[in-house]
Amino acid sequence: MPRGQKSKRRAREKRRQTRQARAKTPTQVLEGAEAIAAEEGELSSAHPVLEDSPQNELAAETPSTSTEPQEIPSNTTGAASGTDSNEGASKQDEKSSESTKTLESFRRDPLNKKVVLLVQFLLKKYQSKEPITKADMLRLVIKKYKMHFNEILRRASEHMELAFGIDLKEVDPVRHSYALVSKLDLSLDGMANEENLPKTGLLMIVLGVIFMKGNCAPEEAIWEVMNMMGVYADKKHLIYGEPKKVITEDLVQLKYLEYRQVSDSDPPRYELLWGPRAHAETSKMKVLEFLAKIYDTVPSAFPVWYEEALRDEEERAQARAAARARIAMTVHSRAVASSSSHIK
C-alpha cells in the first residue's frame, strides 16, 4: 500500500479512536461529577442545578461509541416503562457497576473538575444575562489550567448543549466574548427560569424520539431511550429531578408536549406528540441536528428524517413568506384607505 494511503488510514483510525475515547454514557459523566462534589462535601440535594457550590453543576453526555448513527429502539420491556421488574433491576445494577468503574477514571482527570466548575459558571451567567469573556473564565474558573482552556471549554460546551439544550457561541473573536443561546425560542414565559432550565435538554431528546417515531411515540419507546441514558421513570435523576413528572406533566402543562391515551387501549397506554410551543419554538431540523450531535455525526446521516426535516424547513419558510405578504398587503391597504380619506 502506498505510503500516502497508509498515512490517511492511520489518521482515520486515530480520529475514530479519539471519538471513542471521548464517548461516555450520561450515567458515567453524571456520577463522576457527583463523586468529585461529594469528596469536597459540597453536593447539595435540595437544588442540584445552580446552587452556590460550583461542583453542584453536573452535565450529561449521551452515548456515542461509534460514528455510525443508531436507530431509535422500538422494542419495549418492563424496564423501559420504569416498572419494578427483575429485568429492570438487573439493567440498573449493570449500569451502576459500570458507573462505579467510571468514577475512578473521572477523578483521575483533573480537567473534569474544571469542566464542572465552568458549567456552573456559564449557567449562572446565562441566568443573570451577564456577558461572558475568556478573561473572566480564565481568572475565575480555569486559573492554573490556562494551557488546557480550549479542551475544558470544549467539554463544558458539550455538557451545556446535551444536558441543558444551550449553545455556547463566540460572538467577538477579537475580544473573545461569548453568548449562550437556548435551542428553544424562550421569548415566551415558562421555561427560561432556574427550575425549568434542565428540562430543555431532556425535552430536545423526547422531541427527537417523537420525530423519529413518525411524529407520535408510544410512552414505552420514550422510556426505552431514557433508560439507555441512565434516566428512569421511577428513579429521581440528579439533573432532571423526577423524569416521569417532567415529561408527562411539567412539559405537557407548558405545552411543549402532548400526552394522550391511545384510543381503545385496555389496559390504558399513552403516547406523546409535539405540543404547540414545540412547533413554535423549534423545528425538526434543529432537533435532528441535536440528535446528530449526540451520535457524533451529521443530520444527513439519517436520510429519511433529514428529508422530512428539509421539507419542514421549506414549509416553514413558505409560511413565513406568506405571513409577511399578508402583513405587507394589510399595511398597503391601510395606507391607501388613509390617503383616500385625506383626499376627500
Domains of the chain, first to last: 108-182 (1.10.10.1200), 203-282 (1.10.10.1210)
**How do the pLDDT tens digits run along the chain, 344 residues long?**
566 666 666 666 655 555 444 444 444 444 444 444 444 334 333 333 333 333 333 233 333 333 344 454 444 333 344 444 455 555 555 655 555 565 566 667 788 888 888 888 888 888 788 899 999 999 999 999 999 999 999 988 888 887 778 889 999 999 999 998 887 765 444 455 555 566 788 898 899 999 999 999 999 999 998 888 778 898 887 777 889 999 999 999 999 999 999 999 999 999 999 999 999 989 999 999 888 887 778 999 999 999 999 999 999 888 888 888 888 888 777 776 766 666 65
Cα(213)–Cα(200) distance, integer angstroms: 20
- Indicate the DSSP class of residue 299: G
At residue 298, the 3 state secondary structure works out as: coil
CA 120 to mean position of chain CA atoms: 16
Concatenated DSSP letters of 39-69 = HTT---SS-SSS-SSGGG----------SS-
With contact defined as beta carbons under 8 Å apart, do 234 and 83 qualify?
yes
